[in-house]
A = this chain, B = another copy of it.
Amino acid sequence: MTGEGRIDFEVIESFFFAYRDFISDPDAILEKSGFGRAHHRVVHFVNREPGMTVADLLDTLKITKQSLARVLKQLVDSGYIRQVTGPEDRRQRKLYPTRAGRELALALAEPQSRRIARAFEGLSANDRRAVTRFLAGMQNPRMTDGETEKA
């Protein structure tokens, strides 16, 4: 047997519940517009990095282009995102939020930001840095220039 007793079930569960509730805020807003979580992610990242290409977005979200195509098309058709042919490489489609897209992204982020602020209440600046480091440490190492993704 390996490490029976020392599995950190508490944090595993707490992380699960925290994320579930974290995602429930924007879900409620999205319901009204007829969009889903997939749309949320697209609007969010395009807002965060205007001018990103489709390939960039695929890499960030780690989904297939066919999955993305559906929601992206809906967002473009609904006037939340604009596609512009790349000025250098004309094969690319650079993605930009419209005004409505920026407003939607903001509206979705607001309750999440409020939730974070609430969770930070009573935590010192040091404590908050610890949380940030923890969240970074939970992530897979990010690709840097030279490296390539492997299956």
A-to-B contact residues, CB < 8 Å: 2-4, 6-22, 24, 41, 44, 48, 62, 106, 109-110, 112-113, 115-124, 126-128, 130-140
Give the secondary structure class of A's interface. Answer: helix
Is B110 a contact partner of A134 (Cβ separation < 8 A)? no
Partner pick for A137 among B106, B118, B136, CB 8 A cutoff = B118
Inside 8 A of A24's CB, which chain B residues have their CB? Answer: 140
Question: A18-B139, A134-B131 are known contacts. Are A113 and B62 too (CB-CB below 8 A)?
Answer: no
A138–B22 contact, CB under 8 A?
Answer: yes
A109 touches B4 (CB 8 A): no
Contact among B62, B119, B139 with A138 in the assembled complex (CB-CB below 8 Å): B119
